[in-house]
Structure 1
Amino acid sequence: MSTFTDMPHLFVNLGDGTYQHSGSLAIRQAVAARANVTYKILFNDAVAMTGGQPAEGGLTVHRVVAQVRAEGVNEVVVVTDRPEQYAGSQALPAGVTLLHRDALDALQRRLREQKGVSVIVYDQTCAAEKRRRRKRGKLIDPPTRVVINPAVCEGCGDCSVQSNCIAIEPLETELGRKRAINQSSCNKDTSCVKGFCPSFVTVQGMEPKRPDAARIQRIEAELRATLAPPARVPQALEQHLRMVVTGVGGTGVVTIGAILAMAAHLEGRGASTLDFTGLAQKNGAVLSHVQIAQSRGLITTARIGAHAANVLLGCDAVVAASSGALSRLPGSGARAIVNERINATADFVRDGDLPVSKAVHQAAIESAMGADGTVFWDCTAAAEAIFGDAIASNMMMVGYAYQSGLVPLSEASILQAIGLNGAAVKMNERAFLWGRLIAQDARALERVTGADIAVADTPFDLARFVAEREHDLTLYQNAAYAKRYRALVDAVAQAERAIGGASGALAQAAARQYFKVLAYKDEYEVARLHTDGGFGAYLSALFDGTAVRKTFHMAPPLLTRRDAQTGRRNKIALRGVWAEPLLRVLKHGKALRGTALDPFARQRDRVIERAMIGEFEEDVRLVLGKLTQQTLAAAVGLLGVPGAVRGFGIVKERNYERSRGVREKYRAKLAGETV
């Protein structure tokens, strides 16, 4: 390729398994061709894409670096999160550089300017594989938990950019979308704390809340006594089940097919599975084609053809609504059971503002196969309520499908297959049972939760919202500051009522965005939000136990340096018995906020934040002078611009620069100028 492109340099990614079976030959040829290329060999200790098998041949980092050096590679660098493991007798050969993984970006920038072939060996066990081994007791589970304080979080998404981790999920709040860590899927890599945001706190001594196991097992025993046999399996499914299972990588979707196929084998039936995992280990979409037939001869191809599936088991509604899944459904006659919980996919990492709509995905599925044949239920919420872990949801889906008469297998063979699989056997057996119980009677879950777990959306209440923000701004600064907020919002609401009879989108935009620009999160406010009791209550709601140590991950301007290339300050860990008392003292510095004595006032992001207050008030004056029914949409757009200016430090600075053109466009529309 190098002789047919003007590209001066190329990075090529190789897993250790690919390197072992053929990738080493590609490196040999690149050296012979004198190509300008850097091979990044991920030594992740497992063939992660296909389920975590060991790479054949006993490959080690030392062998890899010795091999590529013998091939004539110009420069070899090992990058790892644990450089200390290469001390003493494990030291790398002379001429091989050792760096911490934090130096990877700078290393890549340097190597792309070099001539010839270079190799980076990235030594770190696959995070998904680590999580798998911890659950199987083969790896020590670190006692540290990462938590995002939602009161501090701005929802900028930089943590997702830095970590590329799907455990960072959207958290919808009164003040807009924030971020939260899904403790069930968190792999404890902790790279998310590199996000340039002071909302990240790591805690020790706390574990996610677990349900009252004894109480739930008593309820389970009572309900089991009333469990009826499953619904009769239709003849077509008894003859040949063609089931499409959808889900997200790393949650056990492929395991469903494996267990059902093994159960079919135990009964002497024919079975096949075909898994489309794609970037499964990066939490991408997974589609499994599962077929069970009375004889193997009825299964002519492992892939279920277009419009040929007769059952859809949607462990994830987003993937179930994808074209890849819906194209397998016949349009009528098929049955679907779908987990209605909308989980963030890999797309959310790239676009933190991605709409997450349950109704849209349900409508897509129902339009493809009809509402009569489709059942939606929040299996994830049920799993969390019963087991305290969302990972149980997939086997609950199998139990639900079995009780509904959609799985032509016996309970005994399914339970035997779960046992043979060997992973979390007791939990999976109980999850299968609970899926059956809820399929028989949806109210079974109410015995556990005490109420319906569905949460209804509440309409926006302007009066209540403004009153609560007044209270917040009084704590933020003082009562006069809060009155300034109410006066402006009241003026906008009154103007909107004058042209339309009621306050609506414009008043809401003013109420939300004026609060945002007034209550900018400087060092004093971050300290207050971490210590005002709200964060402690949030931790108590999520976890059992008491945090024996909290570590705050921040980049204080007086204690950190700014990177010349990225513009980011290096974050440091503030821990120990002095950290929280220091924050409690710092919060009282609000009296200095914006004054000549404020030591933080001359930072670029602080200057921007103070300027945004004046700009917003200027925009409101323009809106009040130009507001008509015809200009209402532009007015709402203009007052909504600050919503995109999120984050801290360099992240906020860049978002502010991007927003300036949008602001000027709306101002020109309101002023009647040509855009």
Structure 2
Amino acid sequence: MDDRFTQASGTHVYTGCELLVKGALESGVSLLTGYPGSPLAEVFDVIQRNAELLKNNGIVAQIANNEALSIARLNGSQMADVRAITFMKSVGLHVASDALAISNLAGTTGGAVVVVGDDTWSHSTQVPADSRFLARHVYTPLLEPGTFQELKDWVNAAFQISAAADLYVCYLTTENQASGGGNVELHPNIYPDITGLKRVNLDTQLIDADKRVILPPHTAQIETETLRERLPTAIETARDLGLNKIQFMAGISRKKRYPLGFVSAGLAHSYLLHALEELNLHGDIPILKLGMTHPIDADIVREFAEQVGEIYVIEEKRPLLENEIKALLTHAYQNGDIETYVNVWGKQFPDDLVGIPTVSGLDASLLIQKLIPLLKHRLGTSDTFVDLEHFAREKALQEEVSEQQIDIPQRTPTFCPGCPHRDSSSVFLEITQQFMDADYMEKHHNSEPVDLVFHGDIGCYSMLKYEPFPRLMHNLSAMALGGGSGAGIDPFIKNKQIVFMGDSTFFHGGMSAISDSIKNNQDIAYIILDNQTTAMTGHQPTPADALDLLGNPTFAQDIEKVAQGLVGDSEIDIVRTNPEDRVNYKKYLEKTILKPGVKIVIADKECAITHHRRLRREQRKTIARDGFLKYEKHINITPEVCEFCRECTAVTGCPGLKIVNTDYGEKIAIDQSNCVSDGACARIKYACPAFEEVIVTRKRPPQQQAMASGYRDLLSDDPLPPPPPLTFERNWNVYAAGVGGMGIGTISKVLVVGGYLQGYGVTFCDRKGLAIRNGGVYTHIAYTQPGVHASPVIPYGKADLLLGLDILEAARGITAQSLFRIASPTRTTAVVNTAKTETISTLIGKDNFDPDTLEETLQTHTNADTYFGVDLFAVSEQLFGNKLYANMMLLGTAFQRQLLPLELEPLQLALKQMVPHADLDTNMKAFNVGRRLALDVQQIENETPHQLNYAEMLSAKRQILEKKRGGKRLAQKYIALVESTVETLNMGSDNMHRLLALYVYDLVQFEDLNYAQVYVEKVKQVHARDSEVYDYRATKAAIRYLHKVMLIKDEVYVAHLLTSTEKLERDKELYRVDTENGDKIKYVHLNRPHFTVMGLDLETDIDTRNWQLNLMKRMKFLRRWLSKWHAREKAFREWYVTRVIDTFAPTDTEAYEKHLRALECVEEVRGYREIRYPKMEAARQIVESLLEE
């Protein structure tokens, strides 16, 4: 239980969702319900964390199967004198509207509140949101809190209005409120008289059925009562509560109107105050703040209109308030209630000035843009207080940030590492391609090609819209209606149809869609992705779980049994299977899809996040008991075996993969900090032998590994004097950017609590809707001095500090194409982690970005003199074994460089409060590492591992060869061959010489010294016809690409690479294996060897151990015995030598450039077998077109 939710006085900081729950507790609520959806999903997490408090006081909290059912709960609750509240997102209100319309007119007893979250910027919602219209449509009063204090306190006001007016109250929040927060004043909780622990008996004779049951002929009567009595009562109650108020009218005479005034509500009012604050006009212009925006209090609008010359309505989205106020004042003027008609402006400003946008949302910056021309035009005379010079500076800043154009790739969301949905989507991607292959379909299914149609739905599987899976979503309907979309096209097409459906979606309404498909004999396969949680919104329980939101035991409903009830005695197949068993899963899916009618497949695999949370808890217990883990399993990729064909990334799009640079070019590697070792990347169609399982066993706790002194010094326990805190006059803003899972949320929590403990006013907004799907995560935090107003979003160019945990997302925050544009060279200091984190588009090769270029850009658009950048991931991995502590290093660096207005004590206290106890010690160490980095980053930059130079490479490979049988003589010949070749080539490039030494070594290991000699002679042959005029580019290309085609990665050579000395030593270092301490490392290599024997292609999946590969790598004789084995690769090698190498004899620059391109044509020849062969043919065609003359 969180003590903040029982705090009865004083202040504390809360998120917006936390404030809604605290407000409900302070209001005497008996029932909390709803359905999770962004931006209000966190409400249910807050409830879950405070389950003990609620259960002890009998407060009921339940997640309904859908939003309509939550409204029905409120309807039922009002049969007794209880207060009930439901939470849902804007599209959830669409689902609930029918129930709400009826329930609202049926009235209330204790009070019913419907909290709806609008995503005005459409950041994570599929349709534009403006729930104000729907609230009016169903006759509910609408409250729009503007500050975080109001967000909490007005929950009670909403209940009071609901009870007094006998109507439900819609309570509108927006994403920047729900995902934001701040410090607020607190009041005692009120615990209700009627609860789950204190039940009552209803006297049914006292129930007024004519009121509770809305049916004709009473409907029209109730509508009349609602319009003439109940809604006016709501206005009177809101007036008594002071929800609508005229601000900043002091000193203005009624005889002399103020030139203009603003009307606003909700968060738009906060943005307006913030904009006026930035324009030095806070408190100088009258504002009518409407707390209840439906029904509008006509009296206060008329009062305001009589004191101002013009009204400007500031609202998000469409001109709803504007039009209603226009109509209200027109009516008042026509009736003589006001003497002078007052013009009302909003989406259009007078004299062709641009008004308030109608699309997306608002923020202070957008209002500053629109208000400067307006106020300058209307108030910019000599006898007014408008500071035109300040306006000019603000306008210049707006223009400056608008010119910061940066071309960077989007970071689209994707499935988490280990997500079970990736198993299904990658299989379907393969099936989709194969089903369009006529030969495949004829051979395997005796069928023509089949073009699969995929109907979209709402859930984690909505990520199918993005790379690498866009082929798997052709349309999108509302939640649980993917099958319904199929029903509309099914009678008219021959295609087979697929729809993915989540387990929570199944209970939300999916079972009805399945029933509809069965009834109409639709030709569709339902793939029910049963991951045992509502993962999309943060892992709330589903009806299939054995525990409810508060941890109470409940009956766990079985999806398979429910589906069986739908199909009855029909022949419809229902199968539950594990999608991780890729081969059998794929076979079953292919057979099932091609059957006629409805098919139901339940892909049963737990959500990776919940699964690994449980594993981590178990590991922590083991470490607490034994002091270490005796067993670890990892997925590893051997870079020398990887061909960088990107098939693993293109088929899975897994963020547990990354790209690394090696002496052989770019390769795919495992990001050990993200990878969960589920092996999905290794289960692709064309098995890549680079994948393997690494098993590490330990007998005793691992010893402290040796590390360079510079890194060791970073862990020093010596006291480090803290700098004096930064000071500021009015406000101070920090913006932090990263990727989901990096720890931006922790940075935000620590800085928010630290600012609160320091005594500042704190306002913040965490944009984290895509966090658990590896999307960008951004936080805005403002510290303010007393009396200064700040909205949750930093205005353009006004961040004092930019904390970039990801360099791409840091750059996104400053570009004019983004929503935020937070940086300016005169105000902003950037502290950035310079490591590259791939996007999915860069991982699959459809985009790219250069961190060095981004770093230069950041320095250009922030204060270059105070900029600080370092690869914190590398430091964290070196010191702590993973990247997860880079966030605390970033925070420590900013603190020690005197960039935070915080003292050490409140910052450390915030860290202790916000970081889980099990990780506190390491996080504290990481924070102090960051502090030491701030003082001397050069100490680690000097010790960054460097690549071997030519002499070091030659020596290293000599030592390895010497260990072979007859190795000393072989090593001597190897050295002589390389040195003589280097002397002949004499290109003056240490890098090319070191690569030559490496490549000759590879060819010796592949076959023998004679094979390497052939390579050397061909390189010399090219060199003899090359020229320094061309910087020996052809020779350099021959060194790289002739090696590539001669080094045929057959099963024999791959076995060598997987068991080589270099690999073993590298893996020991990576996994911190100390054999002298009793550690052991073992391998399970995930292979699919391919042999051609007597014209037959033999291929099978086999998991091999090192002893087996040690035998295989000695079987070089198979290359001669099996003449057809890798025949196509051998033929390509011979073709390249004779057609490209041997013909190199350019006569002019044009011929040279063409032949150079021919030499380089094999750059894209990558992969194994079926992946490689089409690329070999493409390279042949390119060469022939280049050298045809």
TM-score by length of 1: 0.81
Aligned to 2:104: none
**What residue identity is the alignment partner of 2:806?**
D
1:43 matches 2:43: no
Whole-angstrom distance in 1 between the partners of 2:822 and 2:504: 36
Match of 1:537 among 1061, 1065, 1069: 1065
SS in 1 for 2:585: helix
Whole-angstrom distance in 1 between the partners of 2:902 and 2:1059: 55
**What residue identity is the alignment partner of 1:347?**
S
Aligned to 2:607: 126
* Alpha-carbon distance change, 371 to 10 in structure 1, aligned in 2, over 3 angstroms: farther
CA contact (8 A) 1:230 1:404 kept: no
**What residue identity is the alignment partner of 1:669?**
L
Whole-angstrom distance in 1 between the partners of 2:756 and 2:500: 39
More displaced 10-residue stretch of structure 1: 6-15 or 176-185: 6-15
Q: Count residues with an aligned counterpart.
A: 624
SS in 1 for 2:1022: helix
1:193 matches 2:688: no
CA contact (8 A) 2:733 2:782 kept: yes
Deviations 1:355-385 (A, max 9, x none): 4632222233334435345321111122122
CA contact (8 A) 1:339 1:380 kept: yes
Whole-angstrom distance in 1 between the partners of 2:507 and 2:618: 28
Following superposition, the deviation at residue 22 of structure 1 comes to: 5.0
Aligned to 1:426: 921
Q: CA RMSD in A?
A: 3.7
Aligned to 2:1055: 527
Whole-angstrom distance in 1 between the partners of 2:1147 and 2:1013: 24
Aligned to 1:271: 763
* Alpha-carbon distance change, 559 to 634 in structure 1, aligned in 2, over 3 angstroms: closer
1:166 matches 2:659: no
CA contact (8 A) 2:754 2:902 kept: yes
CA contact (8 A) 1:568 1:650 kept: no
Match of 2:696 among 198, 205, 227: 205
Deviations 1:202-234 (A, max 9, x none): 222258996469x99995675642333255244
Following superposition, the deviation at residue 523 of structure 1 comes to: 1.5
Following superposition, the deviation at residue 189 of structure 1 comes to: 0.9
SS in 2 for 1:589: coil
Aligned to 1:436: 931
Following superposition, the deviation at residue 524 of structure 1 comes to: 1.5
In structure 2, stretches of 5+ residues that fail to align are: 1-484, 547-554, 623-628, 950-988
**What residue identity is the alignment partner of 1:172?**
N
Aligned to 2:1033: 505
Following superposition, the deviation at residue 482 of structure 1 comes to: 1.4
**What residue identity is the alignment partner of 2:1168?**
F
**What residue identity is the alignment partner of 1:105?**
K
**What residue identity is the alignment partner of 2:691?**
F
Aligned to 1:338: 832
Whole-angstrom distance in 1 between the partners of 2:542 and 2:946: 46
Aligned to 1:369: 862
SS in 2 for 1:650: coil
Larger Rg: 2
Whole-angstrom distance in 1 between the partners of 2:556 and 2:582: 15
Aligned to 2:874: 381
Whole-angstrom distance in 2 between the partners of 1:258 and 1:118: 47
CA contact (8 A) 2:525 2:599 kept: yes
CA contact (8 A) 1:264 1:271 kept: no
Aligned to 2:883: 390
Whole-angstrom distance in 2 between the partners of 1:485 and 1:148: 28
Whole-angstrom distance in 1 between the partners of 2:711 and 2:823: 40
In structure 1, stretches of 5+ residues that fail to align are: 83-99, 561-566
SS in 1 for 2:885: helix
CA contact (8 A) 2:502 2:530 kept: yes
* Alpha-carbon distance change, 66 to 420 in structure 1, aligned in 2, over 3 angstroms: farther
1:493 matches 2:1023: yes
Following superposition, the deviation at residue 400 of structure 1 comes to: 1.6
Deviations 1:628-659 (A, max 9, x none): 312333322221222222222322234334x3
Aligned to 1:88: none
By relative contact order (CA 8 Å, sep 6+), the higher-ranking structure is 1
SS in 2 for 1:286: strand
1:653 matches 2:1144: no
Deviations 1:301-333 (A, max 9, x none): x44455454432111112223356685224432
1:58 matches 2:545: yes
Whole-angstrom distance in 1 between the partners of 2:1030 and 2:617: 59
1:145-544 alignment to 2 at 5 Å?
145-195=634-684, 196-205=687-696, 211=705, 219=713, 224-235=718-729, 239-243=731-735, 245-266=736-757, 269-278=761-770, 280-294=771-785, 298-300=789-791, 302-304=792-794, 306-322=796-812, 323=815, 327-332=820-825, 333-351=827-845, 355=848, 357-369=850-862, 371-423=864-916, 424-443=919-938, 446=940, 451-453=942-944, 455=946, 461-497=991-1027, 500-501=1028-1029, 503-543=1031-1071, 544=1073
More displaced 10-residue stretch of structure 1: 508-517 or 356-365: 356-365
Aligned to 1:602: 1124
* Alpha-carbon distance change, 583 to 330 in structure 1, aligned in 2, over 3 angstroms: closer
Following superposition, the deviation at residue 399 of structure 1 comes to: 1.7
Aligned to 1:554: 1087
More displaced 10-residue stretch of structure 1: 171-180 or 583-592: 583-592
Whole-angstrom distance in 1 between the partners of 2:1172 and 2:619: 42
Aligned to 2:416: none
CA contact (8 A) 1:198 1:552 kept: yes
More displaced 10-residue stretch of structure 1: 332-341 or 198-207: 198-207
**Percentage of pairs with the same residue:** 24
CA contact (8 A) 1:184 1:389 kept: yes
Following superposition, the deviation at residue 483 of structure 1 comes to: 1.6
SS in 2 for 1:521: coil
CA contact (8 A) 2:544 2:559 kept: no
**What residue identity is the alignment partner of 1:150?**
P
CA contact (8 A) 2:574 2:601 kept: yes
Deviations 1:34-55 (A, max 9, x none): 5544443333244444444444
CA contact (8 A) 1:227 1:437 kept: no
**What residue identity is the alignment partner of 1:418?**
L
CA contact (8 A) 2:1000 2:1012 kept: yes
**What residue identity is the alignment partner of 1:584?**
N
Following superposition, the deviation at residue 520 of structure 1 comes to: 0.6
SS in 2 for 1:649: coil
More displaced 10-residue stretch of structure 1: 115-124 or 188-197: 115-124
Whole-angstrom distance in 2 between the partners of 1:49 and 1:294: 38
CA contact (8 A) 2:733 2:794 kept: no
Whole-angstrom distance in 1 between the partners of 2:1062 and 2:715: 39
Aligned to 1:93: none
SS in 1 for 2:1115: helix
Deviations 1:97-132 (A, max 9, x none): xxx454333344344444544433322223344344
Aligned to 2:587: 106
Aligned to 2:462: none
Whole-angstrom distance in 1 between the partners of 2:543 and 2:788: 34
**What residue identity is the alignment partner of 2:830?**
A
Aligned to 2:1109: 583
**What residue identity is the alignment partner of 2:1048?**
Y
CA contact (8 A) 1:309 1:328 kept: no
